[in-house]
Amino acid sequence: MKTETISNNKQAAFNGFSTEDIGDDHLFTNLETPMKPNAFEMSNDEKKKRISILFSEVMDVLGLDLTDDSLKGTPDRVAKMYIEEIFSGLDPKNKPKVALFDNKYQYNQMLVEKNITFYSNCEHHFVPIIGKAHIAYKSSGKVIGLSKLNRIVQYYAKRPQVQERLTNQIANELKTVLETEDVAVIIDAKHLCVSSRGVKDDTSATVTTYYGGEFNTSAKIAELQNYLNN
């Protein structure tokens, strides 16, 4: 499938829509997280210093008093949070190391890990996406530790995201790691860009799914949904 990335510098309309309209329409332009080729030339310490300076400017423009005891440490705190926590999934060095083990129990049915809580951030407005991921796979002869499934979800969630991309990134990683097409990913999430701004709908949620291999049948989908609903 051919995908195209919209230039960050393009301010003109795209197919008749403004950049603001595109953001509100929840468009994503690439299955990979859009990154600059030189994204990791700067060290994390340098990035934190730069973000702190820039965030100080944002706060100053908003009219906040950066000499106030409650606010003067905020730029540094935000910079540290961005690099070490909520956007740490941008750095491939933080990708979880996954070891495969022989399926000695010869368990050949689906394994389901459900209700994996994650926190991400909408790449259109940089506000939280809060949700749960449900993962299932059928062993191809190898298995991984259950906690690694959680870590894979967290790694891809900790970056500016679009839920459709997040779903596919988790699925593709699982297929690669587990050496099988038989994986399923279901994500149910609330977007604060919908509930706290814009239409301000606090009750809606978004569900995205990926069904691969044996999971891409009506019978398997129904079986998986049965497990998730119990």
Q: Position of tokens 């949700």?
A: 131
Beta-sheet pairing, 160-161 with 183-191? unpaired
Q: How many residues does the chain have?
A: 230
**Rg value, the chain, Cα:** 20
- Note the helical H segments in the chain: 19-24, 44-61, 74-81, 146-157, 163-178, 192-195, 218-229
Candidates 97, 189, 177; CA nearest to 134 is 189
End-to-end CA distance of the chain: 36
Please give the angle made by the CA atoms of 130, 134 and 139, to the nearest 5 degrees. Answer: 150
Per-residue burial over 70-86, b if 16 or more Cβ lie within 10 Å, else e, is eeeebbeebbeebbeeb
CA dist 152 and 170 (Å) reads: 7
Which residues are annotated as catalytic? 122-125, 163, 191, 193
Crossing angle of the two packed helices 146-157 and 163-178, in degrees rounded to 10: 140
